[in-house]
Amino acid sequence: MTALALPSQFSARVDVNRSLGGGYVVLEFSGVSGGALGEVVAGQFVMLRGEWGRELLNPRAFSVLWSEPDGRFAVLLKAYGQGTSRLVASPVGARVTVTGPLGRGFRPTDGAVTQLLVAGGVGLPPLHLQARQASARGQAARLELFYGGRDRDDLVLLGDFEAWGVRSVLATEDGSVGARGFVTAPLEQRLVDARAAGEAVEILSCGPTPMLAAVRHIGLRHDVPTWLCLEEEMACGFGVCLGCAVPVHGARPYQYCCSDGPVFEAKQVRWP
Amino acid sequence: MTAIPRTTAIDPASVDLRTRLGKLELPHPILAASGCFAYGQQFADFMDLRRLAGLSTKGISPKPRFGNPLPRICETSSGMLNSIGLENVGAEAFLAEKLPFLAELGISVWVNFFGEDFASYVECARLLEAGRGHGIDVLEMNISCPNIKKGGIEFGTVPEVAHRLTRACVEVTDLPIVVKLTPNVADVVAMADAVAQAGAAGVSLINTLTGMAIDVRTRRPRIATMYGGLSGPAIKPVALRMVHQVATALPQLPICGMGGILGGEDALEFIMAGACCVQVGTANFARPDAALVVLDELRARMADLGIGSVSEVVGCIRPLPPEAPRVDPAG
């Protein structure tokens, strides 16, 4: 895991508010007054706060979908509570305060190990960015996407993975696309096949907590290195409020999602 | 009609922001609040820390402490609840690893501290005394955190107990002790008076209000310890009332005000209620440079209102004039 650019706080404007269907929205931003996000590792995140006055205080954490050297960046979101609802409704030109890039992301593929990217819901961005960056280095063939959702509308940005040449295995609960059921079933079969073939694989996952819990168990059961990109309620995003505790094994009972993570090794996480 | 003070705007650069808390001189009234600023380092990426008048550290106990189970925080209307559990590195590690960074800043360093019982409060004050002359300017004694068990509640709510505890801590250090009081009491003036009589150099008002939030879908509390401390603009009216009550009853006791300060006008309200300086807390989470926003806005707002110095408005508010007497021609 690596962290490159120092974080900064800056003001940005909404350049694009693009609906992908299924409630998913991509917001694209550019920094104003010289603000820029800098280089981002897949899994790193930003804290975003609109001009929300005094009623809604805390910024919201979003994994970075992509960022460009000129300072533009994007996030993927869905309306869930008050903060996300306001952001989803942001008109072009709306101002936000940005803090980032924050946290420690996934490590890039070293070429020798196949990375299985397991995504669900708004957990797609860190894996999307991992694939984008691997593709830029000519390593797309070392990645495979396992992407699950409730239905067809729950799987977004599939064309990007296709364009990068990343093989995708899809699953939907209603069977409208790919295998019927959870994506963890084809994932587990893939691990069995890899073991039989003597192929080195590791799992990188981000998505709803029940999915991450299942992926963690599968990774542990098959003794495959597994990295989970977690989400916890956080107020600051940079290690001050201590709200986003993650229970871990080891000398300390907790680490922090924002500053020690959000990427944690599955065996380190103290979940049932 | 009420006489309104002159409102001829003045040059912001001419506003004299200097203030003092007892013997402690400050270049302006804006500090960062305990529990919302860690040990300062994390903020260096986002702001020039030397522009602050000072900061109060995360609460320090004699031994390191791990925090509470999660969830530890949740957002509520105009505020947030927290039950972090007083997690900290402990006095020894603070002095060795955190204080040198703070000492270099050249700002007023307040070390917030607490104990798990009477003896460990005194032990903590004694340990931190070693930081006098090495960067620590003030000990801010926290007798008010709602997130500690073991009978800690009586330190902050029973005047006689607070008095004894303050006196015992004052006796083991030459650092000024500012006592941070809880709003979760019936009579805050009695608490302030008790610690003042015991030798406190001032009081910080207020800590969080005990509160609760419920997830109706899961039928569970939204923080693991059931109750937590409410902070943010939601508590500002309560904080202002308590600052004003203490300032009115105990005019000689210096007050550092806090509770929901987001902007310069909030800070000015606290000053007018009787605080000689203020701390910015929860706002630091909304944006890391929040305290500097408050500072810049305070200067601008004072200039707008034609207020030339902080000292002329500390505790300046007066009651509204009485109504005109009623005349009843039929009577």
Residues of B in Cβ contact (< 8 Å) with A49: 286-287
Q: What angle do CA A120, A123, A127 make, to 5 degrees?
A: 95
Q: Would you call A242 and B67 a contact, using CB atoms and an 8 Å cutoff?
A: yes
B133: left (phi over 0), alpha (psi -120 to 50) or beta: left
Chain B residue with the nearest C-alpha to that of A240 = B38
Nearest residue, CB atoms, A242 vs list B84, B262, B283: B84
**How many angstroms away from the CA of A100 is the closest CA of chain B?**
10
Is pLDDT above 80 for B4?
Answer: no
Pick from A10, A98, A99, A236 the residue to mutate for testing the B interface (most B CBs within 10 Å).
Answer: A236
List the catalytic residue out of B36, B74, B124, B145: B145
Q: Would you call B46 and A56 a contact, using CB atoms and an 8 Å cutoff?
A: no
Residues of A in Cβ contact (< 8 Å) with B36: 240-241
Question: For residues B272 and B305, is the Cβ–Cβ distance under 8 A?
Answer: no
**How many angstroms away from the CA of A119 is the closest CA of chain B?**
24
Nearest residue, CB atoms, A55 vs list B46, B66, B78: B78
Each residue's pLDDT, cut to its tens digit, for chain A (272 residues) gives 444 678 999 999 999 999 999 999 999 999 998 888 989 999 999 999 999 999 999 999 999 999 998 889 999 999 999 999 999 999 999 999 999 999 999 998 888 999 999 999 999 999 999 999 999 999 999 999 999 999 999 999 999 999 999 999 999 999 999 999 999 999 999 999 999 999 999 999 999 999 999 999 999 999 999 999 999 999 999 999 999 999 999 999 999 999 999 999 999 999 99
Q: Is B145 assigned a catalytic role? A: yes
Q: Could you report the per-residue pLDDT of B157-188, keeping only the tens digit for each? A: 999 999 999 999 999 999 999 999 999 999 99
Is pLDDT above 90 for B146?
Answer: no
B108-113/B138-142 β-pairing: parallel
Q: Could you report the per-residue pLDDT of A52-82, keeping only the tens digit for each? A: 999 999 999 999 999 998 889 999 999 999 9
Query: What distance in Å separates the CA atoms of residue B181 and residue B205, rounded to the nearest whole number?
Result: 6
Q: Would you call B80 and A240 a contact, using CB atoms and an 8 Å cutoff?
A: no
Q: Would you call A97 and B287 a contact, using CB atoms and an 8 Å cutoff?
A: yes
